[in-house]
A and B are shown apart, each in its own frame.
Chain A
Amino acid sequence: QSALTQPASVSGSPGQSITISCTGTSRDVGRYNYVSWYQQHPGKAPKLIIYDVSNRPSGVSSRFSGSKSGNAASLTISGLQPEDEADYYCSSYTGTSSPWIFGGGTKLTVL
């Protein structure tokens, strides 16, 4: 199963909003509402920021939001802050014997 497709990089200025896309297929993103997003700062472990397409875990800022349409999911970060600069990964459940796939990751630069 191929990885989900994410843009390699996005950038934005403090206070702006950005959106990161995550494109899969009808067998994964399109079939299940089990898309998650993870934030990873350099040298650190990934941190869950969105699960089940649009839900935020306790403690995650409301500036992070998720959505899905068809075979594509999106992560939107509003009111960009310098600490948002990190790599972001999406993942989807596939329902197969290899149940999880990730996107290639997107590097967010806050200008």
Chain B
Amino acid sequence: EVQVVESGGGLVQPGGSLRLSCAASGFTFSRYWMSWVRQAPGKGLEWVANIKEDGSVKQYVDSVKGRCTISRDNAKDSLYLQMNSLRAEDTAVYYCATNQDYTFSSWGQGTLVIVSS
């Protein structure tokens, strides 16, 4: 069974940093692009970043460029999102999702990030 489990969320002050992790199991992690998608409280979904199977290509939504870095460790079947200079508008549930072809085929349960003083 395909499973992705996020961790690392929490309360952080504006300007702070946080590193999210996503542990994958039940599929060959190294064969898939992976993405982070977020959802602000009461709002819709927003794609944040994705990374190619081998980590050679990384893409970001404009609002996080220069502040966030997506990475992966295929030996550990893990995906990461390093978030710096956090702002109130980054407050959201962050989901890890597998990219199968041109869709988000499997999602984790999400990890909540709250940016507040």
Contacts and interface: CB of A to CB of B under 8 A. Distances in A.
A103 B106 CA distance: 18
Interface stretch (B9-17, B82-90, B95-103): B95-103
B44 A103 contact: yes
Given A38-B45, A45-B107, A103-B44, A93 B62 contact: no
Interface of A: 3, 32, 34, 36, 38, 44-48, 51-52, 57, 89, 91, 93, 97-105
Contacts of B103: 34, 36, 48, 51-52, 91
A16 B69 CA distance: 46
* Chain B interface main SS type: strand
A47 B62 CA distance: 25
Interface residues of B, number: 22
Contact of B102 (A3, A32, A101): A32
A81 B103 CA distance: 26
